[in-house]
Chain A
Amino acid sequence: MNIANSVQSDTWSVAGRTFTSRLIVGTGKYKDFAQNAAAVEASGAEIVTVAVRRVNISDPNQPVLMDYIDPKKITYLPNTAGCFTADDAIRTLRLAREAGGWDLVKLEVLGEAKTLYPDMRETLKATEVLAKEGFAPMVYCSDDPIAAKQLEEAGAVAIMPLGAPIGSGLGLQNQVMIRLIVEGASVPVLVDAGVGTASDASVAMELGCDGVLMNTAIAEAKDPILMARAMKLAVESGRMAYQAGRMQKRRYADPSSPLAGLI
């Protein structure tokens, strides 16, 4: 098989939209909009998550995200970060749909501030309502394979389990669970939260995930733009390793040179 062809033809689709990059990046915590835009470019991401917040009435002429990251070129994925109930999340996304005019959204309903762990009861409720209203919700969730199936039945267009708490950078603490979700899902699975460095992103992709979503790992790196590029390469190499199919593990050594013909 031709290497160039097999790499270039590797796309993924969510809710009828096809993307080449499997890395989704957040737009929070950057020093300024210029650094944020440069990091997005270095990451090669085609989707960025954005938050929905009140406009600043007292200073309406402040620069805004859209001035730096063009929503015509990069898909804005509005999220509900900071929402702790289904009602708040639904209200936020109805506004987001009006602001942007698109229905692909990221649903995240949090259970508590300390762990930012998802509240799956509220998440499931919100997913059902949003799907009925014509939204295509990509859903942040716990690493529970049964809950993942329930979300899919409720209308989630992507399942996005956490690998570790949001902003923790601990890496994937639940590789077995993530793999079980991947095996059971018929919609894309993306690890959302927990990635700290490039190897973590590769691990997620080697488990067979369709993509990885991250923010803090890039934004809080000493050099966010360099880390953004590292993440792009890590996601790509993890994906290629998954497609290539890794060797079986052995408990003992197996020589790489032939045993026959030894002097």
Chain B
Amino acid sequence: MDLKESIGIRVNGDPRRVSAGTTIAGMLGELGLDARKVAVERNREIVRRGGFEEVRVSEGDAFEIVHFVGGG
């Protein structure tokens, strides 16, 4: 990833850089996450699973990416 062609975002509170113009699906791939096992919130709005391929990531976006863990 070329720094000039990357954008700054926040993922689960931490700063990250991903390719400019990438989609949610692309971002998950860059982060090494399995899109089938996570849910994504972008700027406090849910991104529907069906939109992962279409929704583009913008500079400054804040993402929450969650999955199921053990719990009562």
Contacts and interface: CB of A to CB of B under 8 A. Distances in A.
Contacts of B67: 52-53, 55, 64, 66, 99
Interface string B27-49: 00001110001111100101111
A65 interface: yes
Nearest to A92: B66
Contacts of A91: 41, 44
Contacts of A55: 12, 33, 38, 65-67
Given A60-B32, A66-B37, A98-B40, A50 B71 contact: yes
Nearest to B47: A98
B35 to A, nearest CB: 11
A127 interface: no
Interface size class of A (residues with CB under 8 A): 35 or more
Given A54-B12, A99-B38, A49 B72 contact: yes
Contact of A54 (B37, B48, B66): B66
B66 A95 contact: yes
Contact of A94 (B11, B31, B46, B71): B46
Interface size class of B (residues with CB under 8 A): 20 to 34
Count chain A CB atoms within 10 A of each CB in B12, B48, B67 and give the residue with the most: B67
Contacts of B40: 98
B54 to A, nearest CB: 15
B70 A51 contact: yes
B14 interface: yes
Contacts of B33: 55, 60
Count chain A CB atoms within 10 A of each CB in B38, B40, B47, B48 and give the residue with the most: B38
A100 B32 contact: no
A61 interface: yes
Given A57-B11, A98-B46, A98-B49, A50 B39 contact: no
B38 A81 contact: no
A255 to B, nearest CB: 48
A94 B49 CA distance: 12
A27 B39 CA distance: 20
Contact of B70 (A28, A60, A98, A100): A28
B48 to A, nearest CB: 7
Contact of A50 (B13, B64, B68): B68
A41 to B, nearest CB: 15
Given A66-B37, A95-B64, A98-B39, A53 B46 contact: no
A96 interface: yes
Given A54-B66, A55-B66, A57-B65, 15 more contacts: A26-B70, A27-B69, A27-B71, A30-B70, A53-B67, A57-B14, A57-B16, A64-B68, A95-B64, A96-B66, A98-B39, A98-B40, A99-B39, A99-B68, A166-B72
27 contacts: A26-B70, A28-B70, A29-B70, A50-B68, A51-B70, A51-B71, A52-B68, A54-B12, A54-B13, A55-B66, A55-B67, A57-B12, A57-B16, A60-B31, A65-B68, A66-B67, A79-B72, A95-B41, A95-B46, A95-B64, A95-B66, A96-B68, A99-B38, A99-B39, A99-B68, A166-B72, A215-B71
